[in-house]
Structure 1
């Protein structure tokens, strides 16, 4: 398997797009199998490489080049997408090359976020491969003078078994390109998949391991300048004035300019601009509210009790259910802000050239980035090109385009190509965070231990609706009220891996365990009773499939040996998010008086698995991420400024703390659903429930490390 990624070939790819859209055929000339640059030229049929559709080309040498349109940030999309095309095409995977496509409107939903890339593109990718296969078969049948229905394909060949004739895709490429494109094609039966569902190595592994320039931080253009921006250290403040004399005196510094959100230092090297940035003398003034974490605690408490709530869902007669209840259980859960902390901090290259702009770098939503730059500079979008590099992580942070517009703004001011780079401290103290949230849960039980009433109020910061009102237990409770209150804060917040559900799932699943205990029922059995009720007589609209929820729950219980083991304590959690279902059982043991997480069982139903190896990495990575942030992650504020600035005072999970993970994928027969995020939400709940059973103490806040279980404080911190 050979792979080629391209940075400098972007403009030529766009030429290819334009010509093929107009009906001409273009060729690709690969100067070197391991080259970093693909040279594209408009010589018709040159080197006999032909474009079958905008997802792929086939050369006379049989090499199939597949373009991967969505941003690659470690979710394995650059391998999974081409696998889908190649399987429908019946290509020989050893002769497939993968290229990161630049921003191109024809690809549709060219973004990475919400675990939606594969579910959205699954039918499009299959059709692209099947269309090319149809055209190759038609070309072969035409040459042989036989019905196309008598021809089959296999590993890059078209075969006519009746006559024993066989032609490689490369031999047919020119003729196939002249076949009219069919309006509809027949897709494979899933039982005939050869690549899909198997474990295929990431196509970029070799380049990553050998340090090839793949990431935004690697990108370099001869003559470009570097820039770093000193942003206001506290949210709610802005630049009043600045003195750049000392910064400009440092060798290599070209200019210092004020931008919308700070002061930019521009120079010839990152070291020079980092040094000059520290030499800036800036005076700030208030631009709005200045908030501290202590303020948020008080705001949450007040809004829970007195806030004007927006009703998100109301089923039945909630007031009567609670009035007549035999028992009522109440609990509150709270989480702090947390940063995204991708390994690669924010960076982007921009070259504003009067009436056009060239952009290069890592972003999750390139179309949005282009639109933002267009609006800021008043330059039409068709005059702006954007080339994607590989992303060194994103987790939602690169859905926001502030660092892209910063690069374009600086370039427009200094009239030169500029690469803006954020330091780790910039990233952590001036970023876009998961919002802090507090939930209040209430449940009403009848005399038989059945949940007859349920209430949830969520209070979030800049979060819109911090609830998922049509998720479980909606549909399983006759009388249900879910509402929310929002606080607007100057602290920038946004999507963080599995938005909202990353904390809501823990809070909900921990609370459900507490309700089950009060009802005197096994936690899993209690949930199954609720699922069966939702299945038999659902109340209102549901987002989730009850049967799939039941299936992963039962499988996780069986696989983990729920309730049958000695020497370990188990906790359970199950959650639906991003169209997928994941149940988890966490196992803990007591070591030196503290609970230690030793193993997590996970059962996932994400529909059709594309790349088994990549899927395993996605789920295991999400579990580690979920555990690490539930246990340790916390960003606090004092007078508007983040108190944690780097990994010396922001705790991450460590390698020795990662438990063993047992993972099973359910073959449910559904098309692919989300996978990048769904395994994260249930992790915190499974761990918290196991910790309670081990210690008798419930955890009502994140990070768990601050709770009385680990801190010994004996009281909540909010």
Structure 2
């Protein structure tokens, strides 16, 4: 009999059945398949298997990947809540590539992105834990000859109080494995939650503190070599000439491999590989994109924006209402190309053999990563093992597998393990960039200052059409119009259309928030323009347009109260507000700044009020709001990617700078209690930054800036 569970590693050790194991395949209600028992076979799963119990304890087979957003802890809390175990009894194992078992039901891919992880796992991981618990308790009750209703579970111990008997989960694992999964899986009422809603410590913190946590770039294998590479500066360019002999002459260099547009040097260590690349004396043919420039791209965007797009929303009469309005506004907003530039540059480790391959990488899309290696090597996907590592940032960059494809093509004839690392310069200059957007907006207000009509035309690249073609329907990219066609406000006369325009010489990609991040800068800046045009306070103007949206009104009121919105500020200071409904989360952001003419914009105080539905872990919400808004503010102030003669002008953090610690404002996060389904928080803070900053600059200076980045134009 086990009375106490000390740790997840020691969970259930020492029982008479210590050699048994149970893998529970959790089915949706109504499925009657039996769980599969796996004695000593920890990798055996059946569809939708999220719970594993073995002699090492309890494991969550995690369908999403950890990118720093805390999902390993939050998702473990969901399962542990219904399984009736403590969080420290759960270990997390990355799910292998398996679209059938681990597809995100929102993204329709085995993918982590779009702030969907908690929303996707909210029901299925709780059902996983509950189904497992029901089967285990049923097995114990049957052994004792009692009703399961008379049993309870405490920290993984099944107890029958009338007879003072108890069994561990592992004790009954073999019996539970023979039982049918329950057809109905009742879940707890929120009032019964024991873990959900508590400030749980992250499971990965100790390993981060002591340095034992392994990211993709930390991979070390016996006999492993190191490689780095050079890539054609202009997309579509080719190698014209190189001095391969000079590279091979560098001490420690083992091999040189190439494709038409790239060359990698393999060395005994990273420095040898780097010196080998430097010795190549490369020259390049620029190819068809040699004349691409930022100005040419913007000119093309301007021309494209003059033509009608595909209609996304048409309430009929918006243009006529604006024409008849007392106050009319028109504006053009522009948002630049952006790089992801995560702290951990792109990298992967590959060991290709004649009949199989193994990949170590941090990726948001393990099935796509597996397929990329399979196609490059000619191996069937099932012969490619993917070891998904933790990631030192992604921001959407690791939703693409171009670097894995490139590595597999370069290394397909190498038969020893090689870790290929992109330098910071290669990572930035050969990124897949956040699209450039060109927005035309107009609005009309009546005699009473009410919004009577609004139009919005978005012109830009479609990431959706490239990354998920089935979601690009009738010429509409739903992400490009996110938060533009629909807003939290009382609007009954809106016309929104989309003009797809793909720039030459580059590839666009997801970037922390994408459509919402760009559109909220436009919408919330323009709402401020409306307020000032009729002499109304920006918060009061928004408040009057929220008669049918109590959750949006609540976060706006809370942020205004906590920020002291009505308090008078010294000259040179200003406050800006941003209100949004994005990723199924309501968020109000009020930013206070100081503009020092000719010098700088000082970020002083950032106040965020958030209603993301039921909160799994308040500390995670706070951390994501803090990190997201700082990421967004730094980007809005400083960042843009530009092109000259087809090549990217920026190369490292000296000319693509990030917000520094001494530049960061004080950030305050206030969470609204809610019983609504959870929304996403990983990108909401980033999306709330640019609009609040632009509006704060106008408040401080009277200067309306409609093109990002903002800092230089402000001073």
Question: TM-score normalised to the size of structure 2?
Answer: 0.87
1:525 equivalenced with 2:515 (yes/no): no
Question: Which range moved further: 423-432 or 326-335?
Answer: 326-335
Deviations 1:224-250 (A, max 9, x none): 332222101123423344331211211
CA apart distance, 1:592:
6.9
8 Å Cα contact 1:462/1:488 also seen in 2: no
Match of 2:682 among 673, 676, 691: 676
Contact preservation (8 Å) 2:97, 2:367: yes
Q: Distance in 1 between matches of 2:462 and 2:72?
A: 33
Alignment correspondent of 2:297: 296
Q: Which moved more, 1:456-465 or 1:195-204?
A: 456-465
The alignment partner of 1:675 has SS state of coil
TM-score, normalised via structure 1 length: 0.87
Change (3 A) 1:255 1:16: farther
2:238 & 2:550 partners in 1: Cα distance? 53
> How many correspondences in the alignment?
668
The question of 1:97 aligning with 2:91 is answered yes
Q: 1:506 aligns with which of 510, 521, 539?
A: 521
What's the offset of the Cα at 1:663?
0.9
Q: Match for residue 17 of structure 2?
A: none
2:704 is the alignment partner of 1:698: yes
Equivalent residues in 2 for 1:648-667 (5 A)? 648-667=654-673
Range that drifts further, 663-672 or 470-479: 470-479
Q: Secondary structure at the match of 1:490?
A: coil
Contact 1:603–1:664 at 8 Å: present in 2 too? yes
CA RMSD of aligned residues (A): 2.8
**Residues 246-645 of structure 1: pairs in structure 2 closer than 5 A:** 246-259=246-259, 261-289=261-289, 290-305=291-306, 307=307, 309-461=309-461, 463=463, 465=477, 466-468=480-482, 469-472=484-487, 476-532=491-547, 535=548, 546-564=549-567, 566-567=569-570, 569-589=574-594, 595-645=601-651
> Compared with structure 1, are the counterparts of its residues 338 and 247 closer, same or farther at alpha carbon in structure 2 (3 Å cutoff)?
same
Q: Which residue of 2 aligns with 1:108?
A: 103
In the TM superposition, residue 141 of structure 1 has moved relative to its aligned partner by: 1.3
Equivalent residue number for residue 541 of structure 1:
none
Determine if contact 1:361/1:388 at 8 Å carries over to the other structure. yes
- Superposition deviation, residue 51 in structure 1: 11
Cα distance in 1 for residues equivalent to 2:91 and 2:236: 49
Distance 1:459 1:444, change over 3 A: same
- Cα drift, residue 610 of structure 1: 1.3
Distance 1:411 1:224 in 2: 13
**Cα deviation per residue 1:318-345 (whole Å; 9 max; x = unaligned)?**
3322322222112222222221111100
SS in 1 for 2:80: helix
CA change 1:617–1:232 in 2 (3 A) is: same
2:152/2:160 contact within 8 Å kept: yes
Please say if residues 52 and 132 of structure 1, whose CA atoms lie closer than 8 Å, have aligned partners that are also in contact: no
C-alpha distance 467-436 of structure 1, shift in aligned 2 (>3 A): same
Structure 1 pair 662/120, CA: closer, same or farther in 2 (3 Å)? same
**Distance apart, 1:531 and its partner CA:** 3.1
Q: Does 1:217 align with 2:217?
A: yes
Cα distance change, pair 528–694 in 1 and its aligned pair in 2 (3 A): same
SS at match of 1:443: strand
Distance in 1, Cα, partners of 2:413 & 2:700: 60
| Separation in structure 2 between the aligned mates of residue 481 and residue 98 of structure 1, nearest angstrom | 44
Q: 1:691 to 1:566 in 2, by over 3 A?
A: same
Consecutive unaligned residues of structure 1, counting only runs of 5 or more, are: 5-14, 29-38, 43-49, 536-545, 711-718
String of CA shifts for 1:412-451, please: whole Å, max 9, x gaps. 1333332211011110111111122221211122222222
Aligned to 1:713: none
Task: Give the Å deviation of 1:189.
Answer: 1.3
The answer to whether the Cα contact below 8 Å between 1:68 and 1:101 also exists between their aligned partners in 2 is: yes
Distance of 2:196 and 2:422 partners within structure 1: 39
What is the alpha-carbon distance in structure 2 between the residues aligned to residue 291 and residue 321 of structure 1? 41
CA shift digits 1:94-119 (9 cap, x unpaired): 33333333334423333211111111
Structure 2 unaligned spans of 5+: 1-5, 10-20, 27-32, 105-109, 466-476
Asked if 1:646 corresponds to 2:652, the answer is yes
Distance in 2 separating the partners of 1:274 and 1:3:
43
Structure 2: distance between partners of 1:384 and 1:69: 19
Q: CA deviation at 1:199?
A: 1.3
Which deviates more, 115-124 or 350-359?
A: 350-359
2:60 maps to 66
Aligned to 2:119, what secondary structure does the other structure show?
helix
Q: Say if 1:2 and 1:97, in contact at 8 Å, map to a contact too.
A: no
- Measured after TM superposition, the shift of residue 395 of structure 1 is 0.3
C-alpha separation between the residues in 2 aligned to 1:272 and 1:510? 51
